[in-house]
Structure 1
């Protein structure tokens, strides 16, 4: 390199160091870790990051706190990496940290304990913060709740529960998914467990002979069953929900290459902004399956005929298909998470409502499957008569003498203890974030999305009001689920975190070029 060229590069680098960014992150869970890691890897100006969360042990989020070993993540390590563009990041951490996880005998891949994954999140956050500080960033964790926010003088002013104010250039809402909804107003009643996580705290108080009913049949409910089994529970266990749909059984991982239903193709459609009929997407998926020689009718049956088998029979069948040579289901499991945030905004309101009403449960069951070893445990309990799965739930009442009665479409079910493992409410705004979100909506800085959470822009996850995006406010995670559909898995958090990081950097650089300024760290 010539002296003049080197001088030019050095001058550019010094110029970059004169610019600053002040970023506020509300929430210190997995989404915040993905965002911090993306920021620490980006070629960005220096600045300040302030993370707000009152939790005693940040970065783990509700699902990945220290807990019983029986509670495991449902995805393989390559799908749990927080590093954008580096799917082996988590696997390397497992080796380097000495966590020797036995592979699942059915798939040959490890499914780590949720607490171990929480350790990975905490270590990754610490490493990202260290990298940022080495580059000159100031990073702080404020252990308090953000109760309100307003836009003022091109900045976001955050107010905390401690009465302090913090002005940021950019704010990212990483508020998580919230706790199970108390649909029957039972919180505080004897025998009612309002939230099973952490299992190590909620389950030991349950009598080993008690009949335990679990509200819900998703992954949280399955974790509850595993936790009870691990502590030697002898009494009956009933999973009770409206639909009785269990997570599907994960098949042996196979590297699937998408040829037609690709993120690149669908993002190109999204950039053009043209509406895409659902029928066009169905045709595209049919081409994908046909070109790969996959069995389209079998996959269609899984999606459209969810109730054709009872939940235990479906579980048993899917366990026999772990090594299925047909890759149709694996194609779906890759395509939906990768393309959902780009495709969803292109669908008409009628098509989105149709999917949510008729196919959402099937898609979530198929795309968020349980490890085969978990299915083996559930089947053993069912075959022994200890576990039952019931659908048609429409009411719960507390009995005068203690315990609860659950009314279903088929029978009334009595239990001694009731564990609440239902999904968060449809609006996807956790209790601790409601005041903050309400303040943004009241100020005209955010808008509720009709399918839940807040309206956001597809490409940048910026909050939008009547289609106009804010350049200062972003949402990462389930708060954006109404706009982007599949937002809660780690791969989605990683992709959206990288998009948000780039959007903030690009806006800061454009703003500086339009109005040059030199700032000291505030």
Structure 2
């Protein structure tokens, strides 16, 4: 089968790109390959828990950069008539929004998994696990997020018993599991937004036991609150490209009375440029020493969720510990977790342990026949610091020699090896709009399109 554009992955990134492309070159020219029955929801927006909220207000969640109120108007026409620009809507509502847009677009959705992409005079041959093959003039990787890195040591039987969950979003059934007593303690490895999601799921299902969140720094994401936006970034592009200089300049702004939220958000438009100016060593230093502090300030909780977390902490039902998880073994109540801290090691029993450390961005170690094939065949190489993929400024995948492939692109989280900000909808929708325009500009003038 010949197809001008094939998008591999139909989560938020893939669906947004498909919608934008359909408006420019027509829906019949685009195919999305996605194993889920519904395109557009991905991991984040497939949740069925109403307590899982967007961490961006409705005013910034439109699928279209040129129509900033599009999502808000959609909300108000449905079950959320009371929505305002500052509403933090349920994530499952946003999933419906994206899936509806995709459905209306008329883009073809093939339920399947891509196992290989091979160069071809037409562009590429996309191979599915089913054996089906598609010839594509242009191919876009939109695989989204991958499961987290496992803990160093996992005991025999602990996963099979349901006592340890390697992937919080994996197919292990709802939380809490039916055999988890509601009073048993639960450990969440990680203190970011995924851990917050798991806590909300547990409480929403009636779990009342103590929950412990564990991470190396013990930092919880902060909450949204009103602030007066700044007229200019607190880090000018002329700032000396060194991690320490960035840190000192940012801290100086806070000392002079700048709200930390305003300071953080002022960098959104320039963060990718500031990141690109750093050397390999400086990027490493930032990731090593400052990224966790940046992340908890940048990726904030909805106000209502932040209030819930404050209450959990005040009541003692939620505890946060600093440390490094060494192992998860079978235990009396379910699992025994071994934690290394500054004072040595400690063991504790939990009914469940859930890995909430966030997606693995080191694609070389991700279990994916598609990615492994791209690396092994020299069609792709790792991005900065071994993260995701190396790309050019238009999102073209670079081969092992550093040459951009003319017809293979990546979008969304898969651009994390080249871009500092690439996981939130405001950035992804702009990528989708720009990439759709780039592909459309070639449409009709490229013989690969005409023969597809």
TM tier, shorter chain? 0.7 to 0.9
Q: Does 1:87 align with 2:68?
A: yes
Structure 2: how far apart are the matches of 1:404 and 1:165? 47
How far the C-alpha of 1:253 sits from its partner, in A, is: 5.3
Question: Over aligned residue pairs, what C-alpha RMSD do you find?
Answer: 3.1
Ranges in structure 2 where 5+ consecutive residues have no aligned partner: none
Alignment of 1:256-271 (within 5 A): 256-258=230-232
Task: Indicate conservation of the 8 Å contact 1:429/1:479, yes or no.
Answer: no
Task: Indicate conservation of the 8 Å contact 2:56/2:88, yes or no.
Answer: yes
Alignment of 1:244-323 (within 5 A): 244-252=218-226, 254-258=228-232, 277-278=241-242, 282=246, 286=249, 296-298=253-255
Structure 2: how far apart are the matches of 1:143 and 1:361? 37
Structure 1: how far apart are the matches of 2:315 and 2:176? 22
Q: Does 1:173 align with 2:123?
A: no
Matching residue of 2:340: 408
Matching residue of 1:194: 166
Matching residue of 1:501: 436
CA 1:248–1:443 in 2, change beyond 3 Å: closer, same or farther? same
Matching residue of 1:306: none
Task: Indicate conservation of the 8 Å contact 1:178/1:430, yes or no.
Answer: no
Alignment of 1:483-494 (within 5 A): 483-494=418-429
Match of 1:451 among 383, 386, 407: 386
Matching residue of 2:303: 372
Matching residue of 1:134: none
Structure 2: how far apart are the matches of 1:242 and 1:248? 17
SS of residue paired to 2:407: strand
Alignment of 1:153-164 (within 5 A): 153-164=121-132
Structure 1: how far apart are the matches of 2:35 and 2:336? 34
Structure 1: how far apart are the matches of 2:97 and 2:304? 23
SS of residue paired to 2:283: helix
CA 1:92–1:51 in 2, change beyond 3 Å: closer, same or farther? same
Matching residue of 1:50: 31
Shifted more, 494-503 versus 178-187: the winner is 178-187
CA 1:500–1:507 in 2, change beyond 3 Å: closer, same or farther? same
Structure 1: how far apart are the matches of 2:174 and 2:213? 20
Ranges in structure 1 where 5+ consecutive residues have no aligned partner: 1-19, 131-138, 270-274, 300-324
Matching residue of 1:62: 43
Structure 2: how far apart are the matches of 1:375 and 1:414? 28
How far the C-alpha of 1:259 sits from its partner, in A, is: 6.2
Aligned residue pair count: 439
Task: Indicate conservation of the 8 Å contact 2:122/2:135, yes or no.
Answer: no
How far the C-alpha of 1:358 sits from its partner, in A, is: 1.1
Structure 2: how far apart are the matches of 1:371 and 1:451? 32
The TM-score, its normalising length taken from structure 1, stands at 0.76
* Structure with bigger gyration radius: 1
Q: Does 1:124 align with 2:92?
A: no
The TM-score, its normalising length taken from structure 2, stands at 0.87
Structure 1: how far apart are the matches of 2:114 and 2:74? 32
Structure 1: how far apart are the matches of 2:97 and 2:230? 27
Structure 1: how far apart are the matches of 2:445 and 2:282? 37
Which whole-Å deviations, capped at 9, do the CAs of 1:24-47 have from their partners, x for residues lacking one? 0000100012212322343x4786
Structure 2: how far apart are the matches of 1:296 and 1:30? 35
Q: Does 1:344 align with 2:302?
A: no
Bigger proportion of residues as helix: 1
How far the C-alpha of 1:447 sits from its partner, in A, is: 1.2
Task: Indicate conservation of the 8 Å contact 1:175/1:430, yes or no.
Answer: no
Matching residue of 1:227: 201
Task: Indicate conservation of the 8 Å contact 1:426/1:452, yes or no.
Answer: yes
